[in-house]
Amino acid sequence: MEWIPLIASTLRLVDLHDSDRAYGNPPNYTRESRTGNSDGVYLDIALHVVHRLKLLDQSASQDYLPFTVIFNAIHEDRPDAAEVDVQYVLNVLRRPSELFYLTSVAGHQAKVCHSEKRETALIEKTDYADEYRLSASGRMLLSLANVARDATYLRGDAYNLLHAIEFYDFPKILTFSDGIISQLRNEILEVRSALERVGRTESIDKYLNRLDQYKQVIEETIGIAQKAEAQLEKSEVLEAFERWQELADLDITFEHLRNQINHVRQVLVIFNRLLSELVSLALQGARSAVPPPSFVDVAAHFVRSPLKLGKEGFLLAQWGALSLETPFHSSLDGLGAVKLRTLAESVPAMTFVDETVEPISVLGKARFLEKHGHDIASALKVGPLRLSEAIERGWFMVDEEMMLGDLVGIFVAPSSIPIESSILIGVSPTLDTKAAGDGELLFTDIEITAVEKT
C-alpha cells in the first residue's frame, strides 16, 4: 500500500485549511518544520490499525473489532507499543473535524462556503463498547492509496483477472478475484442499507447519478467474467496449472480457482440486480422506509388505555421473548441425563449332587491307553507301527466313542506307551487318506519304532 504519496499529496492542503494567516499579510510561508516526535511511530501504529481493520472489513462485512484484538495485532509488529499509545492513536483516528470549503452553486456567482463534520474520522467506535471498524473515510483512504478505485473501475480489475488466466499467473487470479469480490461486497451492503434508510442518502445518489455508467460497466464486466470462466476451462490452462503446481509449493486446487471465478460472476449478477432495484425505486419516487414512531409514547399510551388481554397475548407471542422449544426434543437432548445401570444376573447358589460326579480315572487319554495301550506296545515289539496301520486295525474306537485325537496324540508323543524301549518318530513327506466312518480322513502318516536301549 502506497501511504506516503497519499500523505504527501494532502499535507499542503491540510496546511492551507489550517492556516491562520490574516488576508493581506506578507506572502511568505514561514512554517518550515512540523511539530511532533519526528520518528513516525504514531503514523506507523495508525497504518497498522487501518490495515488490521481493513482485513476485518473484508472478512466480517462492517462488523466491529474489539480493542484487545487490534492491540494484540499491533503488538506483534511493534512489541514496544504501549496500550495507552495505541488507545491515543485510535482516539485521534476517530476524531471528527469540521472542514470548511467553497463550492459554486448554479445560478450564483459567488461560491458558497460549506462545512462538513465526521468526514475526517477514519475509524468508528461502537457505542458503549471498546470496538472499532473502518469508517467510510477510512475505506476511502484505502481506495485512494490504491489509486482511486470504485465500481466504475471494476472492468479494469476484471481484465486483470482475465489476463492473469491468459498468462497462467495462478496466485494473481486469487488476488484479483478476492479484490473484486470484497469490493463488490462492500458496495452491495452499502446499496442494501441505503435502500432501507429514511430519506435519500449520499451513497444512493452516488449510484443514481451515474447509473447508466454503472450499468454499462457491470454488464461488460459480467461479459469479461464469463470470458475468464471460458478461458479457465481450456485444456492448455489446466495443463499449465498442473505444471505450475508441481513447481510451486502452494496449496491451491484448480477447483478452487474455478469456484472463485464463478463466484465473481455471481456477485456481479447480484450487484446488477440490486442496481436495477434501485432504478425502479428511484423511478417510483417513494421509498418504502418510514420514520420510526416514538415507542415510549406508545408505551405511555398503553398505560392510559391498556391493551386488551387477547391483544397483549398476541403481541407477546409474535414479538416477545418466547420459548419455542417446549414440546419438541432433539435426539441429543436427553443424552447422558438418565444413567443406565445394568443389574447383575441372579445366579443360583451352587449345590453338589453326589450321583452325577464321574470318576476322573476313566476319562481321556487314560481311558484310551487302558483299552489299546497294550495292543500298541505288543505291535511295537514286533516292528515299526504306522498311524495308518493303527487306524486300519480300528484302534481309534474306545467302546462306542471315537477317540481318533487320542490315537494321533499317542503317535506324536509316544512316551506314555507302556514299553521299556525309546521310541523314534518318523513323518511321511506325503499326505495319506483313509476312509473313516462316513467320511474320509486326510492325514500325514507317522511311523513309530521301538529302539532297544543300549
Residues binding another protein: what is the number (CB under 8 A)? 69
Stretch that binds another protein, among 35-43, 109-117, 180-188, 218-226 (CB under 8 A): 180-188
Question: 210: which 3 cell numbers?
Answer: 451515474
Please spell the DSSP secondary structure of 368-400, one letter per residue.
Answer: HHHHHHHHHHHHHHHS-EEHHHHHHTTTTEETT
Considering the complex, state which of residue 306 and residue 426 has its C-beta at the smaller distance from another protein.
306
In angstroms, the CA 251 to CA 164 distance is 18
Tell me which residues in 102-131 interact with another protein (CB under 8 A). Answer: 126-131
Return all residues near 391 (Cβ < 8 A) that are at least 6 apart. 404, 407, 434, 436, 441
Question: How many CA atoms are closer than 13 Å to the CA of 188, on its beta-carbon side?
Answer: 18
**How distant is the alpha carbon of residue 80 from its chain centre?**
34
Amino acid identity for residue 76 in this structure: E
Of the candidate residues 39, 80, 333, 452, the single one contacting another protein (CB under 8 A):
333
In angstroms, the CA 202 to CA 192 distance is 13
Considering the complex, state which of residue 204 and residue 446 has its C-beta at the smaller distance from another protein.
204
| Residue 320 contacts another protein per CB under 8 A | yes
The residue with cell 484505502 is: 142
Amino acid identity for residue 208 in this structure: L
Closest by CA to 443, choosing from 427, 454, 432, is 432
Stretch that binds another protein, among 2-10, 22-30, 292-300, 371-379 (CB under 8 A): 292-300
Of the candidate residues 14, 198, 250, 363, the single one contacting another protein (CB under 8 A):
198
| Residue 302 contacts another protein per CB under 8 A | yes
- Helix orientation angle between 41-60 and 83-93, rounded to the nearest 10 degrees: 70
Tell me which residues in 405-444 interact with another protein (CB under 8 A). Answer: none
Q: Minimum distance from CB of 100 to another protein (Å)?
A: 23
| Residue 303 contacts another protein per CB under 8 A | yes
Of the candidate residues 317, 360, 431, 451, the single one contacting another protein (CB under 8 A):
317
Of the candidate residues 32, 80, 246, 297, the single one contacting another protein (CB under 8 A):
297
Q: Minimum distance from CB of 122 to another protein (Å)?
A: 17
Amino acid identity for residue 241 in this structure: F
In angstroms, the CA 314 to CA 319 distance is 8
| Residue 335 contacts another protein per CB under 8 A | no
Stretch that binds another protein, among 43-51, 191-199, 211-219, 247-255 (CB under 8 A): 191-199
Site string for another protein, 56-95 (x = CB under 8 A): x-xxxxxxx-x-----------------------------
| Residue 294 contacts another protein per CB under 8 A | yes
| Residue 316 contacts another protein per CB under 8 A | yes
| CA quadruple 310, 312, 314, 318: dihedral, nearest 10 | 180
The residue with cell 509449493 is: 249
DSSP 8-class letter at 129: S
Considering the complex, state which of residue 125 and residue 372 has its C-beta at the smaller distance from another protein.
125
| Residue 152 contacts another protein per CB under 8 A | no
Tell me which residues in 206-265 interact with another protein (CB under 8 A). Answer: none
Question: How many CA atoms are closer than 13 Å to the CA of 202, on its beta-carbon side?
Answer: 2
| Residue 280 contacts another protein per CB under 8 A | no
Return all residues near 410 (Cβ < 8 A) that are at least 6 apart. 365, 368, 369, 376, 416, 417
| Residue 189 contacts another protein per CB under 8 A | yes
Q: Minimum distance from CB of 261 to another protein (Å)?
A: 16
Are 384 and 428 in contact, with CB atoms under 8 Å apart?
no
Q: Minimum distance from CB of 56 to another protein (Å)?
A: 7
Query: In the complex, which residues of this chain contact another protein (CB under 8 A)?
Result: 56, 58-64, 66, 126-131, 182, 185, 188-189, 192-193, 196-198, 267, 270, 288-307, 311-333
